[in-house]
Amino acid sequence: MAQMPELIFPAAGDVANTPRPFGRPGPQSSTPSKQPLGRCDTVEHASGTPPELARLQWPATFLPSPLGERLELSEDGVTATRQSSVGRGICFVGPLQAEKGSTYFEVEVLEMDGGSRSQTLALGLCTSLPSEAKAHGTEKASNLGQGSFLVGYDLPKLFVHGQECGKIPAKEWRPLKELAVGDRVGLLVEKASMELTVFVNGRRKTSMKCPPGSAGDSGARWAGDVWGVVDVYGTVKSVRLCQPESRRRAAALGQSPAPSLAPAPSPALAARPAAGAPMPLSGVQASPAQHNKRAPDSILGEAPQPAKRPRLSLHPCGCTVHLIRHTGCVVHVPGLDFAIGRNPKSANLTLDSSLVPNMISRKHARIVSSDEGVEVVDCESLNGTWVNDVQVNRHHLRQGDVLVIGKPAQVPADFRFTVSLPSP
């Protein structure tokens, strides 16, 4: 039996040395809630940084070509959205960089298909990009053929060179039943063991090793570049390519993280922001339509000035505030301007319910964070924004406040939130 070729990645580029905290887990019930849920029921990320991911870096945009027939890219290539039907939603990222023989990339689920679907997304990699025509017409990424390695769908399986090579136990990962808006799904590829590992919200879900000699391997070496593959399929309609947590947190503060390969800066230089625009924030609920406030770019020829420490307190995950649902589920508010509404294209947190149709305006309210604190601002909504049973237009939030989007006497429980502010 022929041996599986050794996976060879390109040399490592810039890598982020800052660990990626995912926040602390909120209380969760072992059974689903029977309460009517809004369309963006999100959970807080697991705490800690998996050691496999701590030093890894990955690209920030999808490749504009090749691209599946039913996909559209937006927000400068960060977001991929399937326009209709189930398949032909393949997109690529890369070439991927490697650090000590490992590489990783991650996407955030932005929108789920409301129809009845029996399949869902898959992640993988390929050793060469297909032609535009092949990517345009391929129904599923598992059909890309030679040089493709994929894991996912339902029941999730491992596909090597277009052939099924293993099944993932349902108790480890069942993406069709488990995935929800706001989930972050990542794929770690390890060269030495030829292993593909799926992470969801920072937690390792399952690992599959490519069998030696599987799928009629010809013995050709995996040399040169490799690319990540995302199949936006079935229940998943829109995804955003994520960035390392260190970059997201730096963006929230208007700073740029320094690459880990550079010499350690002195304390005086460590506070200096890098020149250029900060990277966009990719928090759990951060929508492509919203951007954080930018710090002024450095002016050429101007003597560097130490950056002012923001007075705004942050949760360990980098959020300015958490909104706690009645179920204990945590909605992260990672940005400085966070929109709540019915329209997923203009809101970071989408709320809607068939019990109270049109109760929520398309852009209903905003949560604005600054050095002075955190405020909720009503966007001239039809049914109002309420804090502690009082309708407000603009209101400073305090620890333990009860925020209600829409009329308190009519909205479902999932439109009520308890405010959790970080410790000063």
Cβ pair 357, 38 in contact under 8 A = no
Domain identity same for 224 and 337 = no
pLDDT for res 382: 93
CA distance 402 to 404: 7
Helix (H) or strand (E) holding 111: strand 102-112
pLDDT for res 394: 94
CATH number for the domain harbouring residue 339: 2.60.200.20
CA distance 107 to 123: 9
Q: Flag whether 153 is in a domain.
A: yes
pLDDT for res 113: 84
pLDDT for res 159: 93
Q: Flag whether 51 is in a domain.
A: no
pLDDT for res 116: 67
Per-residue confidence of the chain (424 residues) as pLDDT tens digits? 444 444 444 443 333 333 333 333 333 333 333 333 333 333 333 334 465 666 677 788 899 999 999 999 988 888 999 988 888 999 999 888 877 778 889 999 988 887 768 889 999 999 889 999 999 889 999 999 988 999 999 889 999 998 988 999 888 998 988 888 888 899 998 877 788 999 998 888 999 888 776 544 433 445 567 899 999 999 999 999 987 654 554 444 444 443 333 333 333 333 333 434 333 333 334 343 444 444 444 333 444 444 444 467 888 777 889 999 988 888 889 878 899 999 888 888 999 998 999 999 999 999 999 888 899 999 999 999 999 999 999 999 999 999 999 999 999 999 999 999 988 7
Domain identity same for 76 and 206 = yes
Domain identity same for 101 and 229 = yes
pLDDT for res 95: 87
Final residue of a structural domain among 241, 267, 282: 241
pLDDT for res 42: 34
Domain identity same for 219 and 330 = no
- Residue pointed to by tokens 């030829």: 194
pLDDT for res 219: 39
With CA atoms as reference, report the closest residue to 87 among 198, 239, 237: 237
Cβ-Cβ contacts under 8 Å for 72 (sequence gap 6 or more): 80, 81, 83
Cβ-Cβ contacts under 8 Å for 123 (sequence gap 6 or more): 105, 107, 150, 151, 152, 185, 186, 187, 198, 228, 229, 230, 231
Domain identity same for 82 and 228 = yes
Q: Flag whether 353 is in a domain.
A: yes
Domain span at residue 373 reads 321-420
Task: State how many domains the chain has.
Answer: 2
CA distance 360 to 184: 26
pTM of the model: 0.52
Final residue of a structural domain among 183, 208, 241: 241
